[in-house]
Chains A and B, each alone.
Chain A
């Protein structure tokens, strides 16, 4: 037990410290220096402390406490166990890096006043920590709503821009639709006992039907926050609107709190998940992954591209969880542990590389004031720190060995490989084929990342003012390098984290896996089944690279001359002849045409100033959202007829109601 330990104290104090830092911002609301060089670095220190405490708490049992706060008959309960410790580790480490970055990022003081921004930012962090610690429905929902509201204000920090307000509204709307789902879900899970602590929910025995209803509501509620298709509509709007560190936190951490909630409800509170839930989640996850990555491939705004890529990654994580449920529901606990380990590992991976990518777009935005991919290019020569760290994250998110993205992909594919052992006829044939979709999505992610990286950082500068772009400042560099090193480190030595993860797996599926042997090795099943050592692998590649480099220098020479670009001898090259983002996405648009809603405006041959325009839109917007909006609108109009604006009519309503009630009662 660690209840008397400093780790448990630290985990409780960290959110309070963040809250305090946020409130301190109100002391000097307009002082950018105080906020940037005082509060944000302090917030980063709190993040590091939280991460260290969570690391210690991971695998050291669980602790609970009751706060003298909350409703009269329902005080707030806090609890730390292996599942929340893992997500607190994720929160602490990413928050530390993002806070350091923010110390250098918020320089101009446009939009929200710095002090207010700091309050919202730190409240957001604290609320996420409370979501992870909450042990009753009331505390959970309060923290969940604080998190949603704080992030809403952060998203709309540039509230003078109409699109930002629109994006903020959409985000708030979907967040609250999701929250309604969660409220109903908790209502179902108390199971007639009217006790809203999580302990009571664990003890409540629901019928399979009601358990499935609860799972469906949880899937809706947490899916809206995580951005599962078709509840993803807010992601591509809110991420470009928010300041980059906020996008990094939302995509890197907040989406994971939804994953946490889904795991908590389905594996812990509802007891054992059934395989049908797993099949549903697997299907939704795989579809989200493919959908997200295809849309990412056709985007022209760098932050929208990353937002769609987040949808893809959440899809991959949910596919892993779905697979784990399939195994768990059929009693294959060891396989469930493998799939769940892949999903959890991917959560941390995605938090690291996606926040790095969002932070990098922030640096690019600062240096160039351009978010559109069509006006960037060649920045590797002006912003080497940002470019090289982004390269690491791009390779990692594309799932290339020996970086961390590959480890989770490897684990997940191994889990798919054992799925023919499922004791369900027909399902055990379909599930392995799901691996084909997963691999297709991850190969497309490589396509997307070549586009993202190539168009921003490689090639020639598409606009002359990019020559003036400057590299990131010291705070920003520090954060970027730290995140990139974390990606490499997790990739090379995954067993360090995976070994600790056994406690979480034991808690959720009652089995640990033997997927990791000694340092730097991954093993699944028996010795001959599958093994992979990223460390030896990396050493091999680096050795060959260095060997060939040195051998060529030694035997031949290393002379280099610089000359103009050759390009088959065509001398009239300019930067506009490179592929644009539209051009790079064109094959995907063409191959998967039925998926997109496209509008093309082609110029006529007689046009003096020809313009070509293509817009790509999401079909779900027209299929799912607009009918609902129209329906709500109609209902509101019908109800609105009651509203006449004349006192006499309202008095009449009151009178009629009174008479009706009297008749009913008497």
Chain B
């Protein structure tokens, strides 16, 4: 493990933790512009976090220790995930300790703890949110894993840095299986991050909310961690998409801080575009009924499987 590897690793984690709320702020701002509203300040998410951290936490009388542990577990999972995903460079030592399958496992762990925490207080909304979240999760998780299988088969490895290195080395050959995978991935991203058309991040209308229903009982620092973790999740998913489908400007092995700075510039540009794109998509689409959500996700799953089949067909079935 070289010094530059450690630097890349630390930079990846710190960048993710620091920039994630900014991405949420940027998406909110774009949405407001597109919808002809006065935009909230870009830095509003940071102020919200600060405000929440200062407040005294209020816990429901029936909340068990599990409820208090959930925000820390979820935040822990998301930050560790940020350490695995090559966002700035591919020289990540943590990428050896946890591969793509473990990444899906991390997301699943966070989801399951969120659902358990939501059920803990014993409210109608909490269990409703937990049920819907798990419903979306059990369809989104296989779809995501199939996308990862797809790239893993192309690169012959499940270690994230190796996958990205080999995808970069392969260049921009037109790869039909990657196109399917990218489409499936975007659908999973929307569903998993509680965006339209599955969930509306701006709603508190009881019949439609999913993510918000689960976090109703959290307050102060617990809520701050949950919100931060949600922002990190969006950031992680975005970086995951960039790493697989748009691996431009990533610093490779044994490069110095300049390459990292270059990578950060590229990342910022990609995030700006992706955030604006997400806001545009959310403005243009309407929310699906909850029971249409499985169809949406089943389509993502089928697309990912189709991508896998295409991959196997074109490679003659030999990895």
| CB pair A567 B216 closer than 8 Å | yes
Is A653 on the interface with B (CB-CB < 8 A)?
no
Find residues 226-253 in chain B having any chain A CB closer than 8 Å to their own CB.
Answer: none
The one of B58, B122, B127 that contacts A378, using a Cβ cutoff of 8 Å:
B122
| CB pair B64 A439 closer than 8 Å | no
Cα-based distance from A591 to B109 in the complex (angstroms): 24
| CB pair B159 A458 closer than 8 Å | no
How far apart are B250's CB and chain A's nearest CB, in angstroms? 17
Is A662 on the interface with B (CB-CB < 8 A)?
no
| CB pair A428 B312 closer than 8 Å | yes
> Interface centre among B119, B121, B206, by most A CB within 10 Å?
B119
Cα-based distance from A439 to B137 in the complex (angstroms): 12
| CB pair A584 B146 closer than 8 Å | no
CB neighbours of A590 from chain B (8 A): 291
A439-B97 contact given A528-B162, A559-B56, CB 8 Å threshold: no
| CB pair A533 B98 closer than 8 Å | yes
> Interface centre among A439, A536, A577, by most B CB within 10 Å?
A439
The one of B130, B137, B309 that contacts A454, using a Cβ cutoff of 8 Å:
B130
| CB pair A450 B116 closer than 8 Å | yes
| CB pair A591 B294 closer than 8 Å | yes
| CB pair B108 A398 closer than 8 Å | yes
Cα-based distance from A450 to B119 in the complex (angstroms): 9
- Which A-chain residue is minimally distant from B105 (CB atoms)? A401
> Interface centre among B53, B83, B124, by most A CB within 10 Å?
B124
Cα-based distance from A568 to B126 in the complex (angstroms): 11
CB neighbours of B272 from chain A (8 A): none
Is A562 on the interface with B (CB-CB < 8 A)?
yes
| CB pair B97 A533 closer than 8 Å | yes
CB neighbours of B98 from chain A (8 A): 401, 532-533, 536-537, 540
> Interface centre among B94, B105, B120, B126, by most A CB within 10 Å?
B105
| CB pair B309 A429 closer than 8 Å | yes
Is B266 on the interface with A (CB-CB < 8 A)?
no
Is B264 on the interface with A (CB-CB < 8 A)?
no
Selecting from A104-112, A155-163, A411-419, the interface stretch reads A411-419
Selecting from A133-141, A206-214, A441-449, A479-487, the interface stretch reads A441-449
Is A223 on the interface with B (CB-CB < 8 A)?
no
CB neighbours of A528 from chain B (8 A): 157, 159, 162
Interface residue count on the A side (C-beta < 8 Å): 84
| CB pair B318 A421 closer than 8 Å | yes
Is A406 on the interface with B (CB-CB < 8 A)?
yes
Is B112 on the interface with A (CB-CB < 8 A)?
yes
A454-B127 contact given A562-B59, A563-B59, CB 8 Å threshold: yes
Cα-based distance from A566 to B218 in the complex (angstroms): 10
| CB pair A565 B97 closer than 8 Å | no
| CB pair A420 B142 closer than 8 Å | no
- Which A-chain residue is minimally distant from B212 (CB atoms)? A568
Is A531 on the interface with B (CB-CB < 8 A)?
yes
| CB pair A417 B158 closer than 8 Å | yes
| CB pair A548 B76 closer than 8 Å | yes
Is B276 on the interface with A (CB-CB < 8 A)?
no
Selecting from B25-33, B38-46, B148-156, B185-193, the interface stretch reads B148-156
A429-B108 contact given A446-B137, A548-B225, A566-B60, CB 8 Å threshold: no
A459-B294 contact given A446-B112, A447-B134, CB 8 Å threshold: no
- Which B-chain residue is minimally distant from A527 (CB atoms)? B96
| CB pair A565 B123 closer than 8 Å | yes
| CB pair A459 B94 closer than 8 Å | no
Is B198 on the interface with A (CB-CB < 8 A)?
no
Is A474 on the interface with B (CB-CB < 8 A)?
no
How far apart are B98's CB and chain A's nearest CB, in angstroms? 5
Is A587 on the interface with B (CB-CB < 8 A)?
yes
| CB pair A568 B75 closer than 8 Å | no
Find residues 91-136 in chain B having any chain A CB closer than 8 Å to their own CB.
Answer: 94, 96-99, 101-102, 105-106, 108-109, 111-112, 115-116, 119-128, 130-132, 134-135
CB neighbours of B146 from chain A (8 A): 435-436, 439
Cα-based distance from A398 to B98 in the complex (angstroms): 18
| CB pair B108 A532 closer than 8 Å | no
- Which A-chain residue is minimally distant from B123 (CB atoms)? A567
Is A276 on the interface with B (CB-CB < 8 A)?
no
Is A340 on the interface with B (CB-CB < 8 A)?
no
CB neighbours of B105 from chain A (8 A): 399-401, 406, 410
| CB pair A450 B319 closer than 8 Å | no
How far apart are B295's CB and chain A's nearest CB, in angstroms? 9
CB neighbours of B10 from chain A (8 A): none
| CB pair B159 A530 closer than 8 Å | yes
Is A561 on the interface with B (CB-CB < 8 A)?
yes
How far apart are B126's CB and chain A's nearest CB, in angstroms? 8
A459-B158 contact given A421-B318, A439-B142, A568-B206, CB 8 Å threshold: no
Cα-based distance from A433 to B89 in the complex (angstroms): 31
The one of A429, A439, A460 that contacts B122, using a Cβ cutoff of 8 Å:
A460
A418-B319 contact given A391-B66, A560-B56, A564-B61, CB 8 Å threshold: yes
What string of 1s and 0s marks CB contacts (under 8 Å) between A554-577 and chain B? 011101111111111000010101
CB neighbours of A467 from chain B (8 A): none
| CB pair B109 A401 closer than 8 Å | yes
Cα-based distance from A426 to B317 in the complex (angstroms): 8
What string of 1s and 0s marks CB contacts (under 8 Å) between B273-317 and chain A? 000000000000000000100100000010011001100110101
What string of 1s and 0s marks CB contacts (under 8 Å) between B44-68 and chain A? 0000000001101111111010100
Cα-based distance from A455 to B120 in the complex (angstroms): 9
The one of A395, A440, A529, A573 that contacts B112, using a Cβ cutoff of 8 Å:
A395
Is B77 on the interface with A (CB-CB < 8 A)?
yes
| CB pair B66 A458 closer than 8 Å | yes
| CB pair A579 B72 closer than 8 Å | no
Contacts A/B (CB < 8 Å), 15 sampled: A395-B112, A410-B102, A410-B105, A414-B101, A436-B146, A443-B142, A450-B119, A541-B77, A544-B79, A562-B58, A568-B216, A578-B126, A579-B119, A579-B130, A583-B131
Rank and list the top 10 A-B pairs by shortest CB-CB distance, nearest first.
A459-B122, A460-B122, A579-B127, A454-B119, A544-B76, A577-B124, A401-B105, A536-B97, A428-B317, A567-B123
Chain A residues with a Cβ under 8 A of chain B: 377-378, 380-381, 391, 395, 398-401, 406, 409-410, 413-414, 416-418, 420-422, 425-426, 428-429, 432-433, 435-436, 439-440, 443-444, 446-447, 449-451, 453-455, 458-460, 528-533, 536-537, 540-542, 544-545, 548-549, 552, 555-557, 559-568, 573, 575, 577-579, 583-584, 586-587, 590-591
